[in-house]
Structure 1
């Protein structure tokens, strides 16, 4: 998880491992403030950070 300053605002990056074990990356840009980017990152990581457990795996 990282927040970067860009030429046109702020960008947030989130990396995670999906249920099949592959690394995935989600990125969103265009935030006006660093606080907005960090807020989105925190919310996204809570909602999508953990893969769902599957029975039998």
Structure 2
């Protein structure tokens, strides 16, 4: 992946539903690229949303 790689359109949905490692595997991204995509998609707010989704699915 190059530094100019854009965030895949469904990255946010996959990350929220399946998590960090699943998103890395599906999109073939390195950890550094996944971190950058998270920052571009909302950073801490995105991580908070993922936590909320995990709690919702655990019930």
TM-score bracket relative to the smaller structure: 0.3 to 0.5
* Bigger Cα Rg: 1
TM norm structure 1: 0.33
